[in-house]
Structure 1
Amino acid sequence: MSTMYAALLRGINVSGHRRVPMAELRTLLGGLGHEDVATHLQSGNAVFRSASDDENALRNELEQAIEAHFGFPVDCLVRSGAYLAAVADACPFPPAELDGKQLHVTYFDQAVDAARFAGLDAAAFRPEEFRLGDRSLYLYAPDGLGRSKLAVALGRPAVTRGLVTTSRNWNTVARLVEMTRD
């Protein structure tokens, strides 16, 4: 039995830095023995099929292969298609009523306790809002991520210390769910 996964790479292909061409990433994933490899956009979204059921082992394997091939480390998260679908289904905001660029999901490498966000005065950022999910955070930013003051506050080291995080807008979340559907 094999499973469809998404690999979410963090901080690549931004302003010409840490370049990871998607064709090379597809070849790299195929070389690791994965099948049905595809990429979405240039921002580090790859899907693949694997016989492994260990997301952390897949993540470690991919991070090591990327560093060996490209010469720099890249944090990655690997999540099953079923997990991505569950995150999308659990969204506390109404995706169908919003522009995909107003809604974002930040994926974490581990479960995050609400106490981590206790020092954040969420009301001060209205109409922006966030909600915690399972190894994820949903962010509603009506003016987009680039103008979001709440996104800046959520990304501060006091909040993210010790975590690997990467965010995707709802359009990408929905596309990855579609691409990893078995």
Structure 2
Amino acid sequence: MTAVVTNIEDDRISYTPRFDDRVIDNFTVQANIARALEVKTERYYKTVTCSGIHKLVIDTTRTCTVTETNDNVWNVDYTITDTNGGATVTLQDSVLYAGTLEPIVEDLARRLSLQYRLASGYFSQASASCANMLRGRTGEAVHCTAVLADKSSTDVTIRTTKVEFDKIFFEVFPDNAPDLSLGGWHLADPR
């Protein structure tokens, strides 16, 4: 940092501080991370937090945190790719986006509709909504809502059971009937 003297008057000196290096401010980094994740995952986030100053130097990385609506906190790497401020945003953990989880929960909703005779065929009306991502770490879980064929809804949990390379294995079950669990796996979504 350099101090540029702008005025000297008697015993007072006025100066303006200036960074010697080009930097990118936290507000810009946080906004870029939020936009990148919203595009990537099709979801919004409560907060994005970064600390310190990031030099605008190619291939430099800083780690920030993103908080989801369920208060899960994710570490995100922000790497400068060009001197105009271009950057990549990468989640540190393997993940299944909420949009990836919804068809899995919808499948469970169809199966439950058939089991409880709420529908006559597998392709009955069923839907699902998941607000958050599932971390590819054994024991991590997210909650979703399954809407059955009769339009009743039930809370559903999806829990990671193991991770092998880019495969996330999981179990999915209605919270009120965990014995009706289904298992499966899915390739992790791009981080």
Question: TM-score scaled by structure 2?
Answer: 0.26
Question: Whose helix fraction is larger, Structure 1's or Structure 2's?
Answer: 1
Question: Whose strand fraction is larger, Structure 1's or Structure 2's?
Answer: 2
Larger RCO (alpha carbons 8 Å, 6+ apart) = 1
